[in-house]
Amino acid sequence: MAEALNGLKRTMMCGEPREEHVGKKVTLMGWVQRNRKLGGLQFIDLRDRTGIMQVVFGDDVSEDIFEKAKGVRGEYCIAVTGEIVLRSAPNKELSTGMVELKCEDIKILSESETPPIYIKEDLDAAESIRLKYRYLDLRRPDMQNIFMIRNRASKAIRDYLDENGFLEVETPILTKSTPEGARDYLVPSRNYPGMFYALPQSPQIFKQLLMVSGFDRYYQIVKCFRDEDLRANRQPEFTQVDLEMSFVEQDDIMALNEGLIDHVFKTVLGHEVSLPIKRMTFAEAMNSYGSDKPDLRFGMKIQNLTEAVKGVDFKVFSDAIANGGSVRCLVVEGGASMGRKDIDRLGEFVKTYKAKGLAWIKNKEDGIQSPIAKFFKEEEMQKLLDACSAKRGDLVLILADKDSVVLQGLGALRLELAKKLDLIKDKNEFNFTWITEFPLFEYSEEEERYTACHHPFTAPMDEDLDMIETDPGKVRSKAYDLVLNGEELGGGSIRIHDAKLQERMFKALGFTEESAQERFGFLIDAFKFGPPPHGGLAFGLDRMIMFLAGTENIKDVIAFPKNQNAYCYLSEAPNIVDANQLEDLGIAISVKKEEE
Amino acid sequence: MAEALNGLKRTMMCGEPREEHVGKKVTLMGWVQRNRKLGGLQFIDLRDRTGIMQVVFGDDVSEDIFEKAKGVRGEYCIAVTGEIVLRSAPNKELSTGMVELKCEDIKILSESETPPIYIKEDLDAAESIRLKYRYLDLRRPDMQNIFMIRNRASKAIRDYLDENGFLEVETPILTKSTPEGARDYLVPSRNYPGMFYALPQSPQIFKQLLMVSGFDRYYQIVKCFRDEDLRANRQPEFTQVDLEMSFVEQDDIMALNEGLIDHVFKTVLGHEVSLPIKRMTFAEAMNSYGSDKPDLRFGMKIQNLTEAVKGVDFKVFSDAIANGGSVRCLVVEGGASMGRKDIDRLGEFVKTYKAKGLAWIKNKEDGIQSPIAKFFKEEEMQKLLDACSAKRGDLVLILADKDSVVLQGLGALRLELAKKLDLIKDKNEFNFTWITEFPLFEYSEEEERYTACHHPFTAPMDEDLDMIETDPGKVRSKAYDLVLNGEELGGGSIRIHDAKLQERMFKALGFTEESAQERFGFLIDAFKFGPPPHGGLAFGLDRMIMFLAGTENIKDVIAFPKNQNAYCYLSEAPNIVDANQLEDLGIAISVKKEEE
Of B112, B197, B529, the CB nearest to A573: B197
The rounded mean pLDDT for chain A is: 94
CB–CB of A29 and B247 under 8 A? yes
Interatomic CA distance for residues B75 and B30, integer angstroms: 9
Residue A580 main-chain phi, psi, to 5 deg: -70, -20
Within 10 Å of residue B23's Cβ, how many Cβ atoms? 9
- Put simply, whether A226 touches B (Cβ < 8 Å) is no
Q: Which percentage of chain A shows pLDDT scores above 90?
A: 84
Residue B516: the pLDDT is 86
CB-based contact B441:B450 (threshold 8 Å): yes
Chain B nearest-CA residue for A523: B571
Q: Which of A221, A243, A220, A224 is nearest to A168 (CA)?
A: A220
Residue A385 main-chain phi, psi, to 5 deg: -65, -40
Contacts of B571 in chain A (CB under 8 A): 172, 175-176, 205, 522
- Put simply, whether B578 touches A (Cβ < 8 Å) is yes
Q: How far is A397 from chain B (nearest CA, A)?
A: 42
CB-based contact B78:B101 (threshold 8 Å): no
Interatomic CA distance for residues A465 and A501, integer angstroms: 9
DSSP A224-265: EE---PPPTT--SEEEEEEEEEES--HHHHHHHHHHHHHHHH
Residue B120: the pLDDT is 72
The mean pLDDT of A403-427, rounded to a whole number, is: 95
Alpha carbon dihedral A582, A583, A584, A586, in 10-degree steps, equals: 90
Interatomic CA distance for residues B420 and B472, integer angstroms: 40
pTM exceeds 0.90, yes or no: yes
pLDDT in tens, A139-175: 999 999 999 999 999 999 999 999 999 999 999 999 9
CB–CB of B498 and A522 under 8 A? no
Q: Which of B456, B518, B446 is nearest to A577 (CA)?
A: B518
CB–CB of A192 and B565 under 8 A? yes
Interatomic CA distance for residues A323 and A454, integer angstroms: 30
In terms of Cβ atoms closer than 10 Å to its own Cβ (0-12, 13-18, 19+), residue A564 is middle
CB-based contact B219:B161 (threshold 8 Å): yes
CATH code for the structural domain at B19-110: 2.40.50.140
Within 10 Å of residue A130's Cβ, how many Cβ atoms? 20
- Put simply, whether A151 touches B (Cβ < 8 Å) is yes
Q: Where in chain B is the domain with CATH 3.30.1360.30?
A: 298-420
Interatomic CA distance for residues A262 and A270, integer angstroms: 10
Amino acid identity of residue B471, one-letter, is D
Q: Which of B9, B3, B11, B49 is nearest to A252 (CA)?
A: B9
Is A87 marked as binding a ligand?
A: no
Q: How far is A75 from chain B (nearest CA, A)?
A: 6
Interatomic CA distance for residues A61 and A45, integer angstroms: 18
Residue B182: the pLDDT is 84
Residue A499: the pLDDT is 85
Q: Which residues pair with A361 in a beta bridge?
A: A396
Secondary element (H or E) of residue A42: strand A41-48
Q: pLDDT band for B515, please (50, 70, 90 cuts).
A: confident
Distances (CA, A) of B433 to B294, B297, B358, B543: 9, 11, 30, 16
Interface test with A, best of B170, B463, B515 (most A CBs within 10 A): B170
Q: How far is A186 from chain B (nearest CA, A)?
A: 6
DSSP A46-114: EEETTEEEEEEE-TTS-HHHHHHHHH--TT-EEEEEEEEEE-SS--TTSTTTTEEEEEEEEEEEE-BPP
Chain B nearest-CA residue for A72: B530
Q: Which of B168, B165, B146 is nearest to B241 (CA)?
A: B168
- Put simply, whether A562 touches B (Cβ < 8 Å) is yes
- Report which DSSP code applies to B374: G
Task: Give the CB-side neighbour count of residue B490, counting CA atoms within 13 A.
Answer: 25
Q: Does the structure show a pLDDT above 50 at A596?
A: no
Residue B595: the pLDDT is 47
- Put simply, whether B227 touches A (Cβ < 8 Å) is yes
Of A171, A214, A532, the CB nearest to B560: A171
Q: Which of B22, B121, B7, B103 is nearest to B64 (CA)?
A: B103
Interatomic CA distance for residues B98 and B81, integer angstroms: 18
Q: pLDDT band for A125, please (50, 70, 90 cuts).
A: confident
> What residues contact B502, with CB distance under 8 A and at least 6 apart?
B457, B496, B524, B527
pLDDT in tens, B216-256: 999 999 999 999 887 778 899 999 999 999 999 999 999 99
Of B49, B190, B565, the CB nearest to A214: B49
Q: Which percentage of chain B shows pLDDT scores above 70?
A: 98
Residue A180: the pLDDT is 57
Is A543 marked as binding a ligand?
A: yes
CB-based contact B208:B459 (threshold 8 Å): no
- Put simply, whether A575 touches B (Cβ < 8 Å) is yes
B503 three-state secondary structure = helix
CB-based contact A516:A180 (threshold 8 Å): no
Q: Does the structure show a pLDDT above 60 at B38?
A: yes
In this prediction, the answer to ipTM > 0.90 reads yes
Interatomic CA distance for residues A547 and A561, integer angstroms: 18
Q: Does the structure show a pLDDT above 90 at A84?
A: yes
pLDDT in tens, A209-221: 999 999 999 999 9
Interface of B with A in 167-196 (CB under 8 A): 167-177, 179, 183-196
The mean pLDDT of A544-555, rounded to a whole number, is: 96
Q: Where in chain A is the domain with CATH 2.40.50.140?
A: 19-110
Amino acid identity of residue B572, one-letter, is E
Pairing of strands B534-540, B237-246: antiparallel
In terms of Cβ atoms closer than 10 Å to its own Cβ (0-12, 13-18, 19+), residue A170 is buried
Contacts of A174 in chain B (CB under 8 A): 185, 225, 236-237, 562, 566, 568, 573-574
A293 three-state secondary structure = coil
CATH code for the structural domain at B298-420: 3.30.1360.30
> What residues contact B396, with CB distance under 8 A and at least 6 apart?
B329, B330, B331, B332, B360, B361, B363, B384, B385, B388, B390
Residue B125: the pLDDT is 76
Q: Which of B121, B122, B111 is nearest to B32 (CA)?
A: B111
Alpha carbon dihedral A340, A357, A392, A383, in 10-degree steps, equals: 150
Interatomic CA distance for residues A331 and A414, integer angstroms: 10
Distances (CA, A) of B50 to B53, B93, B586: 10, 14, 51
Q: Does the structure show a pLDDT above 80 at A121?
A: no
Of B135, B151, B212, the CB nearest to A168: B151
pLDDT in tens, B339-398: 999 999 999 999 999 998 999 999 999 999 999 999 999 999 999 999 999 999 999 999
Contacts of B155 in chain A (CB under 8 A): 158, 162, 168
CB–CB of B177 and A581 under 8 A? yes
Secondary element (H or E) of residue B313: none
Interface of B with A in 507-546 (CB under 8 A): 521-522, 526-533
In B199-236, where do the E strands start and end?
217-225
Of A134, A562, A581, the CB nearest to B186: A581
Interatomic CA distance for residues B471 and B473, integer angstroms: 6
Interface of B with A in 231-270 (CB under 8 A): 236-237, 239, 246-249, 252
Interatomic CA distance for residues A568 and A292, integer angstroms: 33
CB–CB of A529 and B177 under 8 A? no
CB–CB of B574 and A199 under 8 A? no
- Put simply, whether B556 touches A (Cβ < 8 Å) is no
Residue B592: the pLDDT is 53
